[in-house]
Chain A
Amino acid sequence: MKIESNSNQNTAEFKGFSKETLAKFDEIKNHFPEGKEKSAIIRMLHLAQSEIGWLSTEGMDAVAKILNIQTIEVYEVATFYTMFHVNPVGKYVFEVCRTGPCMLVGSDKIIDYIQEKLNIKVGGTTADGAFTLKTVECLGACGYAPVLQCNYKFHENLTKEKVDELIDAYRSGIIEN
């Protein structure tokens, strides 16, 4: 796993999960029969990522320890599922759908516009560490296309004006994570 370093991004030292997150981990493990707690891993990784900002090796190792499994079992899951960021990302990650139904109604133009507006390429992060732009495959919101998701929130029927408003809203803290 290649970890790129970028001093502006969320790379603060990991000092263990918060009490709230640890309590949630315990609760989720109870959804499964005894001995099958590994099933909790994906949801735990979502929570871990929300707390750390991305999935650092230290964070993943901590999840492995809690589940009493090998670290590789966590890495292989984290790298398989596209929602997990195994490299540092900005505070707000714009994941813009690029699949057919969104493309039919102009997702290419929206992606171009965001690149221009934030002055980054797909995959990049703004210099202030605020925004990362990614493209993703179908988000399951095709009737409300073009669509982007930012930290679990859907933003639908996108236009250039809406993108402007959205970026302003995130920058000024009107929309919180």
Chain B
Amino acid sequence: MKNRKLLLENVHIPGIETFDVYRKNGGYRSVEKALNTMTPDEVVEEVKKSGLRGRGGAGFPTGMKWSFLAKPEGVPRYLVCNADESEPGTFKDRYLMEKIPHLLIEGMITSSYALGANTSYIYIRGEFMYILHILEKAIAEAYDKGFLGKNILGKGYDLDLFVVPGGGAYICGEETALLESLEGKRGNPRIKPPFPAVKGLWGCPTVVNNVESLAAVVPIVNDGGDSYAAIGIGRSTGTKLISACGNLVKPGVYEIEMGLSVEEFIYGDDYCKGIANNKKLKACVPGGSSVPILPHYLVTKTASGEDRLMSYESLADGGFVSGSMLGSGGFIVFDEDQCIVRNTWNFTRFYAHESCGQCSPCREGTGWMEKVLHRLENGHGNIRDIDLLAEINKKIEGNTICPLGDAAAWPVAAAIRHFRDEFEWHVTNKDEAITRNYGLSKEPLIA
């Protein structure tokens, strides 16, 4: 399958991080097109037509999110870019911002125009401080060349753009926690409604979009929403940045056309080139640590035997019974030597550490699961612990203000669903479980 690139096509051009080189290669055309020839509503319409879905993980249609923005008279509106990328397995936004910062800035100018925002912010995780400086340098260039500031392109549109760092908190990737943090507070998610589109930053209507979503607005405006929608497969339109990591020959960030087969992505020479050290594939978490894990026999094929594709629909085929989610595109691959119990414990420790502590089911539940998994992994487990985990899971899921609770519960539920034999083996063969790994799980016989 021919792979078209819309975001990273020019990433390897030397000097592309500077305004002049970026501009020479067609940069900032979308700003010119939007401001010179389109009304803000027409830009929103193109984004709707494109079928672009939020690239941060939830996959909510971006155009629809924009159309929810309240527009009361005399109240400022804000566009906030979510660059808090911290879903384990995901590092695509960092790559994009580091290599081609002007693409994000261009996308933000065009999007801010569409939304009628005159001040926009990029909220970036504090660990990416060096990228904050890259972005600020690029923003200064854009001001200098008249693409930011007062009366952009002489069209009477004003926009200021600032970068704001976080301080190391996964929860600030949740949009209302991000807004709290941007207001200079602890990152505690807000109760919804009201949604940010009505009451967001400082109580004003706000749109929060992922880096990749805002960058995708550039090709959408340049080539038209229909042209973007023609790429991809079904309701998964356009291209997606995939962060491939784990036991792969060639991990890294890849821009793929939606609909590429998972088989080709893992084993193809243009992509990850297979499992490292000639090992076998044991499992895959295809969309960041929060999505269900897939055992090897459900990675490249769905339960019904069809080819599994890199798209929202195909990765979710089979629901939570035999499918997963595209999520943020954090594609984590496990080889045959990896221990699923250990990995599940590790991810649960992550969520226990990152729970903001507001909601009891999440604050207490993640910590409890972490303890139970720790004892299972270290040979102190009891066979009843496996069902106990499932019970705790049910008590967290759906009972919290934000989705962190669900994100902590799903991976555990999926791991037990597909690798129950390995969990049980940790209880029945305690001594062995400490000294060696279980290996590949058996494929269940499907009648």
Q: Give the B-binding residues of A (Cβ under 8 A).
A: 31-33, 36, 38-43, 45-46, 73, 76-77, 80-84, 98-101, 103-105, 136-145, 149, 152-154
Contact = CB atoms under 8 A, between A and B. Distances in A.
B183 A46 contact: no
A46 B167 contact: yes
Nearest to A151: B129
Contact of A136 (B90, B166, B168): B168
Interface residues of B, number: 54
A93 to B, nearest CB: 12
A77 B185 contact: yes
Given A76-B185, A100-B285, 18 more contacts: A42-B126, A42-B181, A46-B129, A77-B186, A81-B168, A98-B346, A100-B289, A100-B332, A105-B246, A105-B247, A137-B353, A140-B90, A140-B94, A140-B127, A142-B90, A143-B252, A152-B127, A154-B130
Contacts of A152: 127, 129-130
B88 A142 contact: yes
A77 B12 CA distance: 39
Contact of A39 (B169, B170, B182): B182
Contacts of A83: 126-127, 167-168
A177 to B, nearest CB: 13
A138 B167 contact: no
Contact of B126 (A46, A99, A154): A46
Nearest to B250: A143
A42 B121 CA distance: 14
Q: Chain B contact residues: over half helix, strand or loop, or mixed?
A: mixed
A60 B26 CA distance: 46
Most central of B170, B183, B338, B346 by chain A CB within 10 Å? B346
A169 to B, nearest CB: 18
Interface in B161-183: 162, 164-170, 181-183
Closest A-B pairs by Cβ, 8 of them: A81-B167, A83-B168, A38-B184, A142-B245, A82-B168, A41-B184, A80-B186, A31-B162
A138 B127 CA distance: 10
27 contacts: A45-B167, A76-B185, A77-B185, A80-B167, A82-B167, A82-B168, A83-B127, A83-B167, A83-B168, A100-B332, A103-B346, A104-B334, A105-B247, A137-B350, A138-B87, A138-B88, A138-B89, A138-B350, A139-B127, A142-B88, A142-B91, A142-B243, A142-B245, A142-B246, A144-B91, A152-B129, A154-B130
Interface string B129-144: 1100000000000000
A143 B184 contact: no
B183 A39 contact: yes
Interface in B242-264: 243-247, 251-253
Contacts of B354: 137
Contacts of B342: 103
B165 A43 contact: yes
Contact of A149 (B90, B127, B166): B127
B168 A143 contact: no
A98 B343 CA distance: 11
B166 A81 contact: yes
